[in-house]
Amino acid sequence: MRLEFHPLARSDISRIMDYYEDAGGPEIADEFYSELWSFLRKAVTSPEGYAIRERDIRRVNLDRFPFHFLYRIVGERVRILAVRHHRRRPSLGIHRR
């Protein structure tokens, strides 16, 4: 499988990184980024290992941070649709393709 990002998912990550850099410093931002990439690799390695939440969209929760990402399996690609907070904007990313 190959990892692919919706263009707005990259913006989601950038916005979260900016928040953590401002709120907690570069170390906490790096920790968020490392954890996110750890789970992205798991999704690519085992894309069907996460339950479908809505239509064909799957959700992966991070352990330490209150964020998760949504993805779809598209052929031989894992397409990341959104990275979002657990309790904010619940519709964010649902309509991205």
Mean pLDDT for the chain overall: 93
For range 11-33, the mean pLDDT: 97
Q: Is residue 14 part of a domain?
A: yes
Rounded CA-CA distance 9/22 in Å is: 20
Range of the domain at 27: 2-85
Contact predicate 68/61, CB 8 Å: yes
Residue 44 lies in a domain: yes
Residue 20 has what DSSP assignment?
H
Q: What is the pLDDT of residues 48-67, one digit of tens each?
A: 999 998 889 999 999 999 99
- Residue 90, pLDDT > 70, answer no
* Unique residue bearing structure tokens 């920790």: 31
The one-character DSSP state at 47 is G
Rounded Cα gap, residues 77 and 54, in angstroms: 18
CATH number for the domain that contains residue 68:
3.30.2310.20
Query: Residue 71: inside a domain, yes or no?
Result: yes
Residue at 45 is within a domain: yes
In a domain, 95, yes or no: no
Residue type, position 85, single letter: H
Q: What's the total number of domains in the chain?
A: 1
* Strand partners for 2: 77
